[in-house]
Chains A and B, each alone.
Chain A
Amino acid sequence: MEAGNPLLDDHVLSLGSARAGWARSEERPRVCFVPTASGDADHYIVRFYRAFSSAVCEPSHVSLFRRDRGAGIDCDVASHLLEQDVIYVGGGSVISLLGVWRAHGLDDALAEAWRRGIILCGLSAGSLCWFSEAISAFHGTPSRVEGLGLLPYSNCVHLNDEERRTAFRRTIADGELGAGYGAEDGAALHFVGTTLTDVVASRQGARAFRVDRHGETPLAARFLGTSPVALVA
C-alpha cells in the first residue's frame, strides 16, 4: 500500500490468485486485511480497500476493536481467516498487535492458516510478527520483541534507518538476537515454508540482508517493475 506504487500489492495479488487457483479453482483471490497494529485505524482500512478493491479481489477486513468485527465477515474471525487466500497484516505497534491477537486466540488461527498454505503477508509490524524475534523501534530505542515464531529467524524492517540497521547488526553480533533477515522499505522477503525463496522490490535499489554473527550479506532483490526504457534520440 505504498502511495503511487502498486508493485508489491500487485505481486501479493498474483500470489493470491495462484493460491485461489489451486485451493478453490477460482481466479479472484480472497484478501483479508488485519489492521490490529494500527488500532484498526479507519484511514488505514480505507487505504486497503482502495488498493485491494473488489475489481481485483474479494476484499474484507477484520476489526478487533469494533463490535461488528470488520466487514465481509459472516462467521467468527478465526474461521473467516481460514477461508482466505491472503491475510495482509498492516503496520503499527507490534507489541500491541501480538497482545490483542493472543487475547483473541488469533495467534493460533494465523499459525493454522499458514499451515494450510494461506499466504501471510504484511509490512513493518506485519512483517516482524511472523518471526521468532524481532527488533522494533516503535517504542523509541530499538529493542527485542518476541513474535509468533512461524519463521525461526530474527527480523528487522525499515533497514534504511541507520539506527535500526546498526541495532540489528549489533544485537545479532552480541548474541542477544539470533541470525535473521532485514529489509529496507520497498523490499520484501518471500518464504515458502521456512525457506527464503525470493526477494522482491517495488523500488529500484531497495535491499534486503541476511544478518548473522559475522555480519550482513546482501541478498539479490528482483525489481518488480520494468526498468525505464532508454530513449534513443
Chain B
Amino acid sequence: MTRTILAMGGGGFTMESDNTALDDYILTLADRREPRICFLPTASGDTERHIGRFHAAFGGRHCEASHLSLFRLGAHPVSIRDTILSQDIIYVGGGSMHNMLAIWRVHGLDRILIEAWDRGVVLAGLSAGAMCWFERGVTKSTGAPTEATGLGLLPGSLSVHRDGEPERLPFFREAVAEGVLPGGWAVDDSAALLFRDRDLVRVVASKPGRGAARIDRGGEQELEADLLGTGPAELSSMPVDIAEYRLHRRARG
C-alpha cells in the first residue's frame, strides 16, 4: 500500500476561490473514481465559514464530500476512527497548528490519522494542515514565527506561505542553519509537495511562478513545480502514478 501526502504551502478552496486546480488534483490522488473526501477544519476551530466553503467547493464534484467537526460532535455523534478510516482522502484545513495538534491528541485523532496513512488514505492539507505531517514546522499560531512539532510521518521540516507570508522564510533558514530545525522544504502559496511513502516525488502548482525550495544547512535548492491543468496532454491523460514515476525517474536521471 503506497502512503500518500500532499502538503500545500497554501491554496485550495479556502485560499483560491477562483482556481480549483489543486483541489482537482487532490481528487485524482485517490484510487476511487468518486473518492470519499473528508474535511478536517480543526485548526480553524471548525469555523462554519470554512466548512461551508468546503461543501460549496466539493459538493458538485465527482466525490462524496463530508466534514468532521470535533467541536460539534455533540450535535453529530460519530465514531472518529470509523469516519476517518472509511475515507479515501482527508483534507486538513489551515489555522492554528498548535491548537489542532493539541485537540487531535486529546481525541486520539493523531494516532487514527497515522493509521489512515498506513492504510493508503490520502492525506492532504494546507498551511497547518500541511506542516502537521512533518517532524517540525514553522507556525505563526502565537504571532511571531516559531518552531512546532508535527506528527513526524514525513522526515524534516516544512515552512508554508513562502511568498504570501515572507517573514517565515528567514526564520526557517536561520533555524535550519543553527540546527534548531532539521532541513526541509519551504513552499509557496498555490504550490504543493507530493510524497509517496516518505519520498518527495513531485512538486505541483496551480499558478505559474509558484514553487518550493529544499533548505538544508549546507544550502538551498529551488524546486520547479509542474503547473497543474496546463501540463502536456500526454501527462494529464496518463494515470497520475505513472506520470509521477516517469518524472521521478527523469529527475534521478
Binding site for B on A (CB under 8 A): 37-42, 64-65, 67, 69, 92-93, 95-96, 98-100, 102-104, 137-141
Contacts and interface: CB of A to CB of B under 8 A. Distances in A.
A93 B95 contact: no
Contacts of B106: 95-96, 98-99
B107 A96 contact: yes
Given A65-B96, A67-B140, A100 B77 contact: no
Nearest to B99: A100
Nearest to B107: A95
Contacts, number: 65
A140 B73 contact: yes
Contact of A138 (B43, B47, B74, B95): B74
Contacts of B140: 67
Contacts of B70: 93, 96
Given A67-B140, A103-B99, A40 B105 contact: no
A138 B73 contact: yes
B74 A65 contact: no
Nearest to B48: A41
A64 B99 contact: yes
Given A65-B44, A95-B107, A103 B102 contact: yes
Chain A binding surface, main DSSP class: loop
Given A65-B44, A67-B141, A100-B99, 7 more contacts: A38-B71, A39-B45, A41-B47, A92-B71, A98-B106, A99-B107, A139-B73
A96 B71 contact: yes
Contact of A65 (B73, B77, B95): B95
Given A93-B74, A137-B74, A41 B45 contact: yes
Given A65-B44, A93-B73, A99 B95 contact: no
B74 A39 contact: no
B103 A100 contact: yes
B71 to A, nearest CB: 4
A137 B74 CA distance: 7
A38 B99 CA distance: 13
Contact of B103 (A38, A99, A141): A99
Interface in B54-113: 70-71, 73-74, 77-78, 95-96, 98-99, 101-103, 105-107
Contacts of A40: 45
A85 B157 CA distance: 43
Contacts of B103: 96, 99-100
5 contacts: A39-B45, A98-B106, A102-B102, A104-B98, A139-B74
B112 to A, nearest CB: 14
B143 interface: yes
B46 interface: yes
A192 B241 CA distance: 65
Interface string B174-214: 00000000000000000000000000000000000000000
B47 to A, nearest CB: 7
A213 to B, nearest CB: 28
Interface string B131-154: 000000000111100000000000
10 closest pairs, A vs B, by CB?
Answer: A39-B45, A140-B77, A99-B106, A103-B102, A65-B45, A39-B71, A138-B74, A99-B102, A39-B46, A40-B45
B143 A65 contact: no
Contacts of B74: 92-93, 137-139
A137 B75 CA distance: 10
Nearest to B101: A103
